[in-house]
């Protein structure tokens, strides 16, 4: 992505201020949550920005700029010095004020893990349950010499301003595990890597403050689930999911598991799964499906299923997505997931019998550990392909069928469930249903 001189920035010889346009899926996720309510409070840890102020004001939000990026420049990133300089600034915040969103931008790239842990613990005094934390992570070894000034253009784009050349970074890039270790009261709500329009070498992460249940990195606002039980008025057909029940049983025995949900972005599903797993990732594949133009076509957008190299999944929930994929698309999904599989990673998939097959992927909302609400997705528009269970087995390659659920009590008519394991060694002692 090209950088151009920014006439609105002060010139600082010999390097002119540069601005880089960055498409921000993390900011879009934050926006989608904020637009459903009014009077949200935003804490921007960066320096004041007229564009950001205007953006949040139009959403009815109040925003406070902390200007930590300027302090980091002065302290040159030394841990003890940073904490000494930051504490007086943070102490000026009203102790009774709690924020709905904290924008850290790229600041964590200039702090050591001890300081990040200290800062997040210090800011937790100003968080409530479900406060979102958004930050950028530089993936390369050479980064701007100081934090960039980030200015929001709209809910999709951010302008990244810098008046310093790039140079070697002082601290190694944080991986997902180290990030969550620094923030034990937060859970990962979204991770965005290589999405279309994102600046090269920049990934984004959105965390959610979960102080009510601290079990490693797993926190859950249980009150939200118990206070909003499923009712018939919410729509959707109830389906008894024997596959989901088995998954919950496996996760209960392995509480440090990591789950990938390939269905639509349901906050309730993520919250529910966090009762059993340490981390839950979501990647809605339906919008990423591309027309199948032949054998050389991947059939999937480049940004889909791109995760950090060290990330491994124990359970993958594909729901009914494979019913609407070509053989090539299933092969692409399998190949992109391959580096992120553990021995015996579990894949859950749903298929439909002939006349009961819908025209587009449906929405699956977890009600409890045995029931799912299934609703037609009227907005989805995908190409239909000839599909059989045999073709799915062929495309999944090294995955082996471990369990099958057909015509079991409580199952919705025409819905079949399958559990696959990626090497068939059955180390989790699968028992085939009779």
- Do 277 and 365 share a structural domain? yes
Give the mean model confidence (pLDDT) for residues 127-134. Answer: 92
**17 or 285: which leads in pLDDT:** 285
Has residue 216 been placed in a domain? no
- pLDDT > 50? residue 432: no
Going by C-alpha positions, the residue among 66, 179, 175 that lies closest to residue 117 is 179
pLDDT in tens, 195-208: 888 998 898 999 98
- Do 340 and 406 share a structural domain? yes
Range of the domain at 99: 4-209
- pLDDT > 70? residue 11: no
pLDDT in tens, 208-244: 888 754 444 443 333 333 334 444 445 578 999 999 9
Q: Which residues contact 230 (CB under 8 A, 6 or more apart)?
A: 238, 365, 367, 368, 371, 373
pLDDT (0 to 100) of residue 356: 72
User: Angle 68-75/79-91 helices, nearest 10 degrees?
Assistant: 150
Going by C-alpha positions, the residue among 135, 114, 159, 117 that lies closest to residue 44 is 135
- pLDDT > 60? residue 351: yes
pLDDT (0 to 100) of residue 222: 32
pLDDT band with cut points at 50, 70 and 90 for residue 268? confident
Q: Which residues contact 92 (CB under 8 A, 6 or more apart)?
A: none
CATH of the domain at 305: 3.40.50.150
- Do 394 and 285 share a structural domain? yes
- Do 391 and 273 share a structural domain? yes
Give the mean model confidence (pLDDT) for residues 289-294. Answer: 70
Residue 389 neighbours by CB distance under 10 Å? 16
- pLDDT > 70? residue 266: no
Q: Measured between alpha carbons, how far apart are the two ends of the chain, in Å?
A: 57
- pLDDT > 60? residue 173: yes
Are 109 and 169 within 8 A, CB to CB?
A: yes
- Counting the structural domains of the chain, the total is 2
Has residue 119 been placed in a domain? yes
- Do 153 and 74 share a structural domain? yes
Give the mean model confidence (pLDDT) for residues 93-106. Answer: 93
Has residue 333 been placed in a domain? yes
Compute the mean pLDDT over every residue in the chain, rounded to the nearest whole number.
80
- pLDDT > 90? residue 316: yes
- Do 143 and 31 share a structural domain? yes
**387 or 306: which leads in pLDDT:** 306
């Amino acid at each position: 992505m090209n950088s151009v001189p920014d006439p609105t920035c002060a010139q600082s010889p010999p390097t002119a201020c540069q601005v880089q346009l960055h498409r921000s899926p993390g900011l879009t996720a934050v926006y989608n949550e904020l637009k459903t309510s009014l009077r949200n409070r935003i804490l921007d840890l960066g320096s004041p920005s007229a564009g950001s102020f205007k953006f949040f004001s139009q959403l009815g939000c109040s925003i406070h700029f902390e200007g930590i990026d300027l302090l980091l420049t002065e302290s040159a990133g030394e841990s003890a010095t940073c904490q000494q300089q930051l504490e007086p600034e943070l102490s000026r915040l009203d102790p009774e004020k709690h924020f709905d969103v904290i924008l850290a931008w790229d600041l964590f790239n200039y702090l050591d893990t001890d300081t990040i842990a200290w800062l997040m613990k210090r800011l937790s005094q100003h968080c409530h349950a479900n406060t979102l934390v958004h930050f950028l992570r530089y993936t390369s070894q050479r980064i701007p010499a100081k934090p960039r000034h980030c200015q929001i253009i709209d809910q999709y784009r951010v302008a990244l301003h810098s008046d310093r050349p790039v140079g070697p970074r002082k601290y190694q890039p944080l991986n997902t595990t180290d990030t969550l270790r620094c923030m034990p009261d937060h859970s990962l709500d979204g991770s965005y890597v290589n999405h279309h329009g994102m600046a090269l070498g920049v990934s984004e992460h959105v965390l959610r403050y979960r102080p009510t249940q601290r079990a490693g990195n797993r926190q859950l606002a249980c009150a939200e689930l118990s206070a909003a039980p499923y009712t018939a008025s919410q729509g959707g057909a109830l389906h008894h999911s024997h596959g989901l029940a088995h998954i919950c049983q496996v996760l209960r025995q392995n509480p440090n598991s990591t789950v990938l949900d390939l269905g639509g972005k349901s906050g309730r599903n993520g919250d529910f799964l966090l009762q059993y797993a340490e981390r839950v990732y979501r990647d809605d594949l339906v919008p990423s499906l591309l027309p199948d133009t032949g054998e050389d076509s991947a059939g999937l957008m480049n940004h889909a299923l791109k995760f950090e190299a060290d990330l491994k999944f124990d359970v993958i929930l594909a729901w009914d997505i494979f019913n609407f994929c070509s053989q090539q698309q299933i092969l692409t999904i399998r190949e992109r997931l391959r580096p992120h599989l553990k021995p015996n990673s579990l894949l859950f998939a749903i298929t439909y019998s002939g006349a009961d097959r819908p025209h587009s992927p449906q929405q699956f909302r977890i009600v409890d550990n045995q029931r799912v609400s299934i609703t037609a997705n009227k907005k989805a528009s995908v190409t239909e392909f000839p599909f059989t269970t045999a073709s799915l087995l062929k495309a999944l390659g090294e995955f082996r069928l471990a369990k099958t659920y057909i015509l079991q009590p409580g199952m919705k008519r025409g819905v079949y469930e399958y559990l696959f394991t990626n090497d068939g060694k059955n180390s989790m002692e699968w028992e085939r249903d009779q």
